[in-house]
Copies of this chain bind each other. A is one copy, B any other.
Amino acid sequence: MELIHLGHGSGGRMMHQLIRDYMAPAFEMKSLNDSAVVDTLPPGRIALTTDSYVISPIFFPGGDIGMLSVCGTVNDLCVSGARPLYLTAGFIIEEGFPLPHLKKILESMSSKAREIGVSVIAGDTKVVERGKADGLFINTAGIGVIEEGVDISPLNIRPGDKVILSGPIGRHGISVMAERNGISFDPPVLSDVCGLNGLVDRMLKFTKKVRVMRDPTRGGAATTLKELANESDLCITVSEKMIQVPPGVRGACELLGLDPLYIANEGALIAVVDQAEAEGLVHEMRKDGAGEHAAIIGEVTASPRKTVLLKTDIGGIRIIDMLLGDQLPRIC
């Protein structure tokens, strides 16, 4: 099996061959030396984002680091209300990494980008010595355009607004944790990794009264809700019984003492919307694959400020805070 050598990152002939044989066929890069140049963007404000992917293992049930690095950054753009247009991709590869794995990951990135309709137009490859990285890290940065009339911000949240969750939670984190620890479930828990662009497009066509959207990745749904409560200076109350936790996720969490509210997702979305639009929007979201289990999970009130409350199944109320440290590192 062919392996990555330090020379593949040197700027010399081996690197040019790697780009020509591996990177260029997967993406729409004209040259890896220059910046990529594109014509003027469509009208609207510009959204920029970046994310590094250090997930371990790089192949997991339902996905791999390649598709994750495309979907994650696309989703960051989408939840800001932007239509994703272009991505850049930076690879940090450990010496000795198998070239067939790199090829598989590039194909996965390429096919996911095509499916979503974004172009990977600029790239960079660095190689570090054995033991100085963990196989492969990928950074993607993304640029998108926010159309006139779309205004997504936690500052728009008002008391009375409804909170919508697009689907079941915890699948990404549990699938990765299972793969990492050699645990298997029957049926297997697959990561929910997917592009949210279609779902968000549908939502914003349906109503401009979406106050804010977030994808609850690291830190899970709990952290995202807490961020929204903090940033809006309001209270969010959610109902445990409305938050779907797949049986495999629930089982794994019970076994391992984890809370599904803090487990990472890579294809889920939390939206806060005008109460008058909430029912209709949920109905609309369910027409999309990524939103077919969408549901109203809670609402916004004025106080207690900066607080998230969970109405539990047994009728109690629990205060939800951010995790201090981490439940599960290297999840994305």
CA distance A60 to B101 in the complex (A): 34
Residue in B closest to A224 when the chains form the complex, CB atoms: B33
- Cβ–Cβ contact A227 & B54, under 8 A: no
Q: Residue A132 contacts which of B52, B90, B134, B219 (CB distance < 8 angstroms)?
A: B134
- Cβ–Cβ contact B90 & A92, under 8 A: no
CA distance A36 to B134 in the complex (A): 29
Residue in B closest to A52 when the chains form the complex, CB atoms: B90
Interface: A1 (CB within 8 A): no
- Cβ–Cβ contact B325 & A12, under 8 A: yes
Interface: A24 (CB within 8 A): no
Q: Residue A126 contacts which of B40, B44, B52 (CB distance < 8 angstroms)?
A: B52
CA distance A123 to B51 in the complex (A): 7
Q: What 0/1 pattern do residues 108 to 151 of A give for CB contact below 8 A with B?
A: 00000000000001111011110111100101011110100000
25 inter-chain pairs at a CB distance below 8 angstroms, sorted by A residue, are: A6-B326, A9-B329, A11-B219, A11-B220, A12-B219, A12-B323, A13-B321, A13-B322, A14-B324, A33-B227, A36-B49, A37-B47, A38-B46, A41-B41, A46-B143, A48-B121, A49-B88, A50-B123, A51-B90, A52-B91, A56-B128, A56-B132, A122-B141, A128-B330, A137-B137
- Contact surface of A with B, Cβ cutoff 8 Å: 5-7, 9-16, 31, 33-41, 43-54, 56, 76-77, 79-80, 82, 86, 88-92, 121-124, 126-129, 131-134, 137, 139, 141-144, 146, 152, 214, 217-220, 223, 227, 231, 262, 264, 321-327, 329-330, 332
